[in-house]
Each structure stands twice: as C-alpha cells, then as structure tokens.
Structure 1
C-alpha cells in the first residue's frame, strides 16, 4: 500500500472518529436537556426539594456529571442568590456541554413552571378556579413523592459516611440543622401553638455554617479559633432566632463582627495557600455576554409593546440578585419592588400570580417574575398574546440573572478551590443541605399538602400522603430487586392516586 493510500485511510479514520465523538456529544446534550425539562415539569416543592431528584437523574442514572461535580454545583447554588434549580442546571449544563449546555439546561429547567404559570393565568381568567383546584389535587401526590425522595436523600447522606464515627457526626449535623430551621414546621405538624425559639431561615443557617468555616480557615479542630467561632455563632442564633433571647438590637453588631472575621479568615487562607490558579476571566466574559444577549433577544417584543420594559427588566434583575433565602423570601422582595413600585396591584399579585405559582412545579422566582410580566402585558390592552410576549422578558431575567450570578461565583470558586475552607465546605455541605431538606419535607406537608386540602383536621391529606408514600416504597423495593421503574411512572402514579382520592373523598 502506498504512503498516499495510508494517509487517506488515516484521514478517513480520523473523520469517522470525529463524527462519532460529535454524535456522542450531541446525544449527551439532548439527553441532558430532556432530563432538565422533565425535572422542571415535576419540580413541586421549590428549589431545595429538587436536589435529590436532580442527583438521581444526572448522577445516578444518566451519569452526566460525577457526584463531586454535582456537589460543587449544589454548594455554589446554595450560597448565591437566584433560582437554585436553574443555578444547579447551569453548572451541570456547563460541565456537560459547555456554553450551549449551560443555556439549554438552565432554560429547560425553568421553562415548564414559567410556561404553565402564564397558561394557567390565561385559563383562570375564563375558567375560574376549577382548573386550579384540579392542579392542586395532582400536586398533592407529587409533593408526597417528593417528601419520600427528600427523606431518602437525607438517609443516604448518613449511609455515605466512610465510617461509623463520621456517620454519627453527619446524623448530628442533619438533626441540628433540622431543629434550627424546622422548629416552626414541626410545631405546625403536630398542631402545637408554641412560639419557636429558633425557626431560622435557610440563609441564616448557611450563613452561620460558613462563618465558622471561614473564620477557622477550615481548621475546625483548632481551639484558638473554633471556641470564639462557637461563642459568636451561639450569640447569633439566640439573637436571630424567633424568641430573640439576645435582643434583636444586637443583631447588626453581631453580623458585622461575623462578616469582618469571615473576610479576615478568607483573606488569610488565600495568602497562605501555595496553590493559585489563574482567574477564568475569558470564560466569565463569554458567559456574561451570552446571558446579556439572551435577555435582549427575549425582551425585544416587550420593548416594542411598552416603554416600561427596560425599567421592568432592571427591576427583574435586581429582584433576582436580592433573592436570598428561597421562594418565600423572594415573595417579600417581589412585593417590595413590584407591588409597592406600582408594577402590579396587590390583589393581582397575591390573588392571581402567587396563587397560581404555588400550585405549579418549578422555581418560585422564575414563576413569579414571569407571571408578573404576563400581568403587565395583559393589562396593556387585555390581550393574552401581549401578555405572553411581555412574559418572555420576565422569564429571560429570571434565568439569565440566576445563570450569570452562578457563573461568577463558580469562577471565583474554581480559582481558590484548593483552599482548606472549600475542602471542609464540600465535606459538610451535604449533611447541612440534608437537614434543610427535612424542613422542606415537613413544610411540604403542612403548607403544601394539608394547606391545599383545607379540611379541618387534615386527615384526608394525611391518608392520601401515606398511601402515595407506601406505593412508592413498594416501587423502590421493586427497583432494588432489579425492576426498571422510570421516574415518570412514579410521578404519574403518585399524581393519579391523589387526583382520584381528592375528587372522590374531598
């Protein structure tokens, strides 16, 4: 065989390999996008509640990212403002398929909830509350399924410990975080009229945890720093808690001390670190440019329809940046900016947008911002089409702001990930999140399930929830015995049980 023939053969083989690699990448991209879309459709319970569902799909089943990569995404999303599911999807998409993966994953995660919000707003205006009540019935079963998933995730955290001692430590952290954050929900669950001592928010729990880690520079066994950190943290908890054992007037001072000491510990860690990476400025600039273009393109219809579009877009970005602490916290931010700012009246905000958003899957931030934008567009001329077109700008703001903030913080994390503080954070973030998820599980029942049924003692809600959980436990047992039961079937069965039960017995 001549040299030319050999070269031709090698080139053909290289082309085949390239085509094969591209085909694999495309299949991975499509699979990831469809997975995010599916999770977006079943995402009842808000941001944190979706962490176990996302992990099961992208780590355990599809193996799109590793468990370590997923935990990094969850850690960054948990400490940044914005829509948590969208932020986690942004990280997964970036690691799986680069810039296009980031865009597709974030959009697919947010789209179902946002789209259903504006569709239901349009339908309710003509069909009344009947449609919403039926959606509530479906959501009860799905919420019960999510509760079981959250419990399984927390149990799995303890089981993942490398030894018995670490498992006990994880268990104590989970229990401690649950009691600090879920005290109010626990009292509601048992019908107790007791004022909680703590009842801390997610951001308060995470803030206290990160203060200890930052101030001790990740060396939590160093008594010289850990003892003062523990004393200051206890003072903060007693001040920030519901009972205000330490007067609330001391809170600004305590927070200032915590902030200064945290920054001091972080700076010292950076200076002492022998490993320093270059800051990925080009990647950050590319991402920022993309998200800006994303907002501009989707907001073009709104800009043609109303002169107030630019103001609304700015308020949308600002509200996303201010949205620390989950969905409930975003409602207060949205009220301050949009209701008190005259963008939407109080009756439409709570009676229409919030009521609809609470009945649907997906991020509260994305649904609320999209729903407000729809209301703005609809009220221009009473046109559903104009409502949908302006809603695009709200959707774009919610996704782009979350994605951009996540990328910024992740780039900073990548530069300094070798620091001891990040090693400790990665080690303990899962048990901390697990404790918070137990609070979400209890809240899902007390507010999401029992609150929607509205029947005195709430026994029908409890019976339906227990039936759904029992059926899913059987399905989990069958899976362990080798049966392949897809997530969609679990969701359909759970929703079907609650839909039939509510319509027959309520």
Structure 2
C-alpha cells in the first residue's frame, strides 16, 4: 500500500467514526489487517492494548501507530492527523450551521445517524463473531474462558444501557466505566501471572472485585476513603510484581533514543499549533495548558471526557448553555474522536469570545484539535516502547490472548448505546420505536447479505444504509 492510499483509508475511517473509539477497532482491522494486509494481527492487538492503557483518543493513537510502523515519522504524524481531521472539520462546520439553520439541519443529521448506526452495529457484530470463531479454534477451555470474560465485561459495562433500552424503571445495580474494567483486568492478569502464590492470587481477585464495586456507581459516605486505599494497594502490588518479575533495573533494551525522537516530533507538532494563539495573546496559554491537562486525564472514553471538559472549561471559557446545548449535541452525532471534537469546539467558542473575531476562533480551534492529537499520540508512543520490551512475558502474552474478548464485551455496550440513540431519535420525532428498531435490524441483515453474498464493499454498504434511513424517514 502506498502512503497516499494509507492516508486516504485513514480519512475514510475517520468519516465513519461513529460509536466511539472501540467501535472503530473492527474497521481498522478489516482495512489494514484483512483487506490490504498492511499490518499483522499481532501488531494490531498490541496497538489496542497500549491505546487502552494510555490517556487520549484511541482511534487517533492506533492510526498513528500503524502509520509509524509502515511509513516512519511521516506516517506517525499524518496518520493521527488524518484520523482526527474529519470529525474536527465536521463539528466546526455543523456548529456554524446550527447557529443559523438549527431547525432545518437538526432533523437531517438525526436521520443520517440512524443509517450510520446500522452500519456500525453490523461491523461490531462481525467483530464479536470473529472473536467467538477464533477462540473456538483454540480449544474448549480457551473458548469458555473467553466467553466468560465477554459476558462479565458486557454485564459490567452494558447492563445499565440494556436496562434503559428496555424502558425499565429504577437504577441498574452496577455500571462500571470502560477504563475501570480495563484497569481491573490488567491488574488481575499482572498479579495472577506474575506469581504462583495462590494466596496472593486470591487477594488480587478480591481487590479487583472491590475495585469494580466501588467504581460501579454506588454511593456511600466512606466510598472515597475506600477508593483511595484500594487504588494505593493496587499500585503498590503492580509495582512490586513488575520490578520482581521483569527485573526492571537490569533491562537496558528499551529504545530510549527512538522514544525520545518520537516525543520530540510531537513536542514540535504541539508547538506549531500552540504558538499562533500565544502570539495573538499570551493569556490564551491558559486554554492550551488546560487542554493538555484534560487529555492527560482522559481515561474512560469520550463520554467520560465530557465530565473532565466540564470541570476545566465550563463557566471560565464557555458557558454551560453553549457547552451542553451546542458542543455536546454536535460531538455526539458526528464521527470522530469526542476528545478532538470537544477541544476544537471549546477552542472555537472561547476564541470567538476571547479575541472577538473569527480568525482568533479558528486558530484556537486548530490549537484544541492539535493538542488532542499531539498529547494522545505522544503518551501512546512512550507506553508503546515500554510494551515492546516486556511483550514476551507471561503477563503480556495473557493480555494479548484476552484483549479481544474484553473488547468484544465492551462492543456489546456500544451496540446498546447506538440502539439507545436511535430510540431517542424516535421519541424526538414521535416515530414508533419499533419502526426505528426494524430499520436497524433490517439494515444489519441486508448488510450481511450484501457483504457475504455479493461482496459489496463497506463504502457502498454505508451509503445504502443512509439512503434507506432517509427514505423511511421521509415516508414516515
């Protein structure tokens, strides 16, 4: 594959980036591992593991990693940029249009997202199916364990959305964020595989259960103290096992020079996007600094990032009304990283208010999007170099064996979210919910037939899904 073709494929994936970062994993794998054979499944699984462990936007990090492996530094930078670009540009354009033509544009956007949701659900189901097939080939024991992991992760992450989708009253008993599930899984694997002591392994299981329990939405006056204590215990245990098992201080093969080189490129990239706004006004550095901090705090996915953005930007830089009625609405219905879109939109509104002109707002929006890309990828490549050094250990091998099962469980939750969004669309426009669900399910079945029987490519399939949803909306 030529470099130009790689960038074009990344751009296409960026345009289909609905459903959050996890939803794009099957698309990346299909395009670069399956269809074009640009990368191996082993490398791609490593990308997923490292991106899940680091702060920032997962799809941007994966695009940057694939780009670096195959095209060097230019692929590393432009891969991340091209992945983020469609969402950033689309969100800024839609914010401008909504201001002038809100009543006209909003229904069209809602209609389009139903069709795209059907396409994403189809891809996610295929990914989950591939995980089942892969583990079945590796034996009954492996299949049963992977199935248990998938179900457990789905219950922990998706139970609440299933509860709401069915319209049941009350609160679901537990709802754990993606990041906490991943951290608990990684902790458990590290502790179990780094020691043969049954007592320590049992203690690790109990601590993981307590960790998930305390992050499951429960409210108690002592919960903060318990959380802090458990976090400290987990960190100490991981450090002890890591230093004893990996002989960290005796290792000298970590590619420090290459890692510093990658980091240097991203520092230059960040300087190029931040310097223009500082030159316009030195006080705009506050926005840049808070943006960097927000990305470094962005564990837990796009929805979790909105909470971080609220704390850092709302009232001081954008009003609550602007943030929730304009920015949040736009970033949730367009493709691309929520992190990148949110920072760009916050920058746009802050720049318009701070500088009083559109030139300043554009520079500020570019800075916001650039910071999302640069900080995400910089953190990713640092952790990636460390992962390469320890990838032959039992811990990393076990992590590689079960990461796809964990992701499959999380994707079940993404499917529920897409159904819920479509359900909300039905309620907004007084359309029977059964009609929306039939559109989604019918489109998924049609997609399967078009792909398996007639070998129609994904671009044509998603266009067909959008046309079907638009025609049915017009008819209704």
Which residue matches 1:323? 298
Structure 2 distance, partners of 1:416, 1:129, is 54
Structure 2 distance, partners of 1:475, 1:273, is 55
Which residue matches 1:452? 425
CA RMSD of aligned residues (A): 2.1
User: Does structure 1 residue 369 correspond to structure 2 residue 340?
Assistant: no
Is contact 1:195-1:243 (8 Å) kept? no
Equivalent position to 1:189, from 165, 170, 179:
165
Equivalent position to 1:486, from 448, 457, 461:
457
Which residue matches 2:57? 83
Question: Shift in Å at residue 476 of structure 1?
Answer: 2.7
1:422-463 C-alpha deviation (Å, 9 max, x unpaired): 1111111110111011111111211x2212332376223212
Which residue matches 1:270? 246
TM-score by length of 1: 0.88
1:115-144 C-alpha deviation (Å, 9 max, x unpaired): 111111122222224223212211111112
1:388-445 C-alpha deviation (Å, 9 max, x unpaired): 2321111110100111010111111122222221111111111011101111111121
User: Does structure 1 residue 156 correspond to structure 2 residue 127?
Assistant: no
Is contact 1:472-1:490 (8 Å) kept? yes
1:50-100 C-alpha deviation (Å, 9 max, x unpaired): 111111111101111100000000110011110010011111111111111
| Corresponding residue SS for 2:282 | coil
Is contact 1:273-1:419 (8 Å) kept? no
Structure 1 distance, partners of 2:102, 2:252, is 57
Which residue matches 2:255? 280
Gaps of at least 5 residues in structure 2 are none
1:173-211 C-alpha deviation (Å, 9 max, x unpaired): 101110111110111121112422221110111111111
TM-score by length of 2: 0.94
Are residues 366 and 171 of structure 1, via their aligned partners in 2, closer, same or farther at CA, if it must alter by over 3 Å? same
Are residues 260 and 246 of structure 1, via their aligned partners in 2, closer, same or farther at CA, if it must alter by over 3 Å? farther
Are residues 263 and 304 of structure 1, via their aligned partners in 2, closer, same or farther at CA, if it must alter by over 3 Å? same
Structure 2 distance, partners of 1:99, 1:328, is 31
Which residue matches 2:147? 171
Which residue matches 2:466? 495
Question: Shift in Å at residue 260 of structure 1?
Answer: 1.4
Which residue matches 2:212? 237
Structure 2 distance, partners of 1:399, 1:272, is 30
Structure 2 distance, partners of 1:370, 1:272, is 40
Structure 2 distance, partners of 1:368, 1:395, is 8
Which residue matches 2:475? 504
Number of residue pairs matched?
471
Which residue matches 1:226? 201
Equivalent position to 1:466, from 428, 441, 455:
441
Structure 1 distance, partners of 2:328, 2:248, is 48
Is contact 1:239-1:247 (8 Å) kept? no
Larger Rg: 1
Is contact 1:118-1:388 (8 Å) kept? no
Of 84-93 and 291-300, more deviation after overlay is shown by 291-300
Which residue matches 2:178? 202
Structure 2 distance, partners of 1:123, 1:308, is 29
Are residues 134 and 245 of structure 1, via their aligned partners in 2, closer, same or farther at CA, if it must alter by over 3 Å? same
Which residue matches 1:22? none
Question: Shift in Å at residue 294 of structure 1?
Answer: 1.3
Structure 2 distance, partners of 1:449, 1:365, is 22
Which residue matches 2:116? 142
| Corresponding residue SS for 1:485 | coil
Is contact 2:243-2:249 (8 Å) kept? no
Gaps of at least 5 residues in structure 1 are 1-26
Is contact 2:426-2:432 (8 Å) kept? no
| Corresponding residue SS for 1:214 | helix
Is contact 2:147-2:405 (8 Å) kept? yes
1:334-384 C-alpha deviation (Å, 9 max, x unpaired): 0101114x1111111111111111110001000000111111222346544
